[in-house]
Amino acid sequence: GESVGLHLPTLSVQEGDNSIINCAYSNSASDYFIWYKQESGKGPQFIIDIRSNMDKRQGQRVTVLLNKTVKHLSLQIAATQPGDSAVYFCAEPHHAGSNYKLTFGKGTLLTVNP
Amino acid sequence: NAGVMQNPRHLVRRRGQEARLRCSPMKGHSHVYWYRQLPEEGLKFMVYLQKENIIDESGMPKERFSAEFPKEGPSILRIQQVVRGDSAAYFCASSRLFSGGNDNEQFFGPGTRLTVL
């Protein structure tokens, strides 16, 4: 079965609020994770990644948190905007140390209400 | 700097026909990956190619599906004798090099949406 999965299939937030999207993984040897954003009719777009030697990584308005103890990671989006509406996937390479053969979870649909 | 190009964007085929999907990687990228996405699902890895070489085709069905990345021209994903279950979005990604480093980001194309009637 898949080693990454999403807790919630949909998330609806008000514009300006913070969004938190969660992801669980099962392989304790996993060492690299990537978050992708997929807008309707488009291909996935890289948002941010994190390696297992880190607990937290910040980008522009996004933060990824990694909890290796419970094998869980989250994507936090600050001040969510309508343009953030999309499906968000966490993904990991099938083989530790590689960066191909990405395994994607089913995704969380984020809807931002104006 | 054009991104990953895929064509056609939409393809309709009848059962039994052949589908041919094309992918032109980003300039300077020599690694190509194909993924399939069923409705409301995540992407599933199919095949990883370098120029003139198939590196890993473990995600591709053994029959009817084939992929190539010739020395010149785009990568082609070919599906023979299509069936309704082949209806999906097919995404191509490319990367600059293959390594364990953070700079091996896969850039995805817009996808080809295949509908089999």
Chain A residue with minimal CA distance to B58?
A101
Q: Which residues of A touch B41 (CB under 8 A)?
A: 106-107
Query: DSSP secondary-structure letter at B84?
Result: G
Within 13 Å, how many C-alpha atoms sit on residue A63's CB side?
A: 9
Least confident window among A20-34, B14-28, B73-87 = A20-34
Q: How confident is the model at residue A93, as a pLDDT?
A: 81
Q: How confident is the model at residue A9, as a pLDDT?
A: 82
- Cα-Cα-Cα-Cα torsion A109, A49, A70, A65, nearest 10 degrees, comes to -80
Structure tokens at B47: 């095949």
Average pLDDT of the residues in A101-106:
85
Summarize pLDDT for A38-86 with one digit per residue, the tens.
Answer: 999 899 999 999 998 999 999 999 999 999 999 999 999 999 999 999 9
Q: Which of B48, B52, B65 is nearest to B104 (CA)?
A: B48
Chain A residue with minimal CA distance to B38?
A106
Within 13 Å, how many C-alpha atoms sit on residue A94's CB side?
A: 15
> Tokens 């079965």, residue?
A1
Q: How confident is the model at residue A26, as a pLDDT?
A: 84
CB of B80 closer than 8 Å to CB of B14: no
> Does residue A8 belong to the interface with chain B, where contact is any CB pair within 8 Å?
no
Chain B residue with minimal CA distance to A4?
B42
Beta carbons within 10 angstroms of residue A44's beta carbon: 30
> Does residue A53 belong to the interface with chain B, where contact is any CB pair within 8 Å?
no
Structure tokens at A54: 């880190």
CB of B49 closer than 8 Å to CB of B68: yes
CB pairs under 8 A between A and B: 72
Average pLDDT of the residues in B13-42:
93
Nearest to B45 among A44, A101, A107 (CB): A101
Summarize pLDDT for B61-100 with one digit per residue, the tens.
Answer: 999 999 999 999 999 999 999 999 999 999 999 988 655 5
DSSP H or E segment with residue B73: none
Q: Which residues of B touch A2 (CB under 8 A)?
A: 42
For chain B, the average pLDDT equals 91
| A1: confidence class by pLDDT, cuts 50, 70, 90 | very low
Beta carbons within 10 angstroms of residue A52's beta carbon: 14
Share of chain A above pLDDT 90, in %: 66
> Does residue A83 belong to the interface with chain B, where contact is any CB pair within 8 Å?
no
